[in-house]
Amino acid sequence: MKQVILTGDRPTGRLHVGHYVGSLKRRVQLQNSGKFDQIFIMIADAQALTDNAHQPQKVRENIIQVALDYLSCGLDPEKSTIFIQSMIPELTELTFYYMNLVTVARVGRNPTVKSEIKMRDFKTSIPLGFFAYPVSQAADITAFRATAVPVGEDQMPMLEQCREIVHSFNSIYGETLVEPQIILPDNKACLRLPGTDGKAKMSKSLGNCIYLSDDEETVRKKVMSMFTDPNHVRVEDPGRVEGNPVFVYLDAFSRPDHFERFWPEYKNLDELKAHYQRGGLGDVKIKKFLNQVLQDELAPIRERRKQWEAHLPEVYEILKKGTEKARTVAAQTMHDVRAAMKINYFE
């Protein structure tokens, strides 16, 4: 069977380092592994509109930002098809038929939907389109016959629902859809990077994100003002590394060669952690090191972004070509789905 990746992001803001370690970095590795026959990367504007109906301009502006983030992280349009969700009407069409295979109660139990409803404070005014987005996401995945979906851990319930829809569809209409596997980040710290303020999640509204497009000084300032262990008051005090965002970021980003280059007093992160836990190691020193590590990772991304920003018409052309290619594939699946459902009346 063909190995196919589909994944994507909502264009509601620029992408941050949480997106990077949670998903983008892995995508680039998978892209360059040569193990996949096709890779589709979707800018999920239709999904973004499910809770931004009144802010179409925000979604529109962020399409290009997300595309720039993709390209600057190393997604290569020669190897990965980057496209815009709403420009593929087959995705909406599939969603409409899949909705008949899913109950309201089932979506209501989806933990990610549940927590997002809470977060957005919808109370009893949940937009129907928002509520249905797990179904639309199943359409995104199956339209491209994706076998693998690299995403962050919060997307696990979406994948589960997608697999249920695939089973249900195939058992009613005959083997048509492909069942996808989720690919989670392999490093635990990357599953969910906390905000710089120590809150569980990076979020634009909380202002606790480090963006891939932040300049060097902005990153430095954000790192130096990061939340750490509140009980680590004096340098001599023993410090906690668990749940300490500075150490979670180091878990996610630092490699032994960073120690060699920037802080040879320690061989690796374990040694650094041990010293912090014993006491006698100040937060400022660790933050300076984290800043060096982050700058090392982000500098090439920033550099590539600058180059692409100078060629915006080319970026739009990449999106246009990618969308055309993606549409051909989705249309073939739609054709097969119609045949399976016996709604291909004129054939």
Contacting positions for ligand TRP (CB under 6 A): 6-10, 44, 47, 137, 140-141, 149, 151, 155
- Comparing CB distances to ligand TRP, the nearer of 74 and 134 is 134
- Comparing CB distances to ligand TRP, the nearer of 69 and 140 is 140
- Comparing CB distances to ligand TRP, the nearer of 180 and 239 is 180
- Comparing CB distances to ligand TRP, the nearer of 40 and 259 is 40
Q: Which amino acid is at 68?
A: L
Q: Quick one: which of 324, 314, 315 has its CA closest to 87?
A: 324
Alpha-carbon gap, residue 218 to 89, rounded angstroms: 40
Nearest distance, CB of residue 150 and ligand TRP, angstroms: 8
- Comparing CB distances to ligand TRP, the nearer of 146 and 337 is 146
Q: Quick one: which of 282, 291, 309, 283 has its CA closest to 218?
A: 291
Are the C-beta atoms of 315 and 71 separated by less than 8 Å? yes
Alpha-carbon gap, residue 17 to 2, rounded angstroms: 31
Nearest distance, CB of residue 281 and ligand TRP, angstroms: 37
The tokens for 223 are 């790192």
Nearest distance, CB of residue 146 and ligand TRP, angstroms: 8
Burial 315-343 (b: 16+ CB within 10 A, else e): beebbeebbeebbebbeebbeebeebeee
Nearest distance, CB of residue 66 and ligand TRP, angstroms: 10
Residue 77 φ/ψ region, left for φ over 0, alpha for ψ in the -120 to 50 degree band, beta for the rest: alpha
Nearest residue to ligand TRP on Cβ basis: 44
Nearest distance, CB of residue 231 and ligand TRP, angstroms: 35
Nearest distance, CB of residue 140 and ligand TRP, angstroms: 4
Nearest distance, CB of residue 137 and ligand TRP, angstroms: 4
- Comparing CB distances to ligand TRP, the nearer of 223 and 329 is 329
The tokens for 338 are 């119609």
Nearest distance, CB of residue 203 and ligand TRP, angstroms: 12
- Comparing CB distances to ligand TRP, the nearer of 8 and 74 is 8
- Comparing CB distances to ligand TRP, the nearer of 194 and 239 is 194
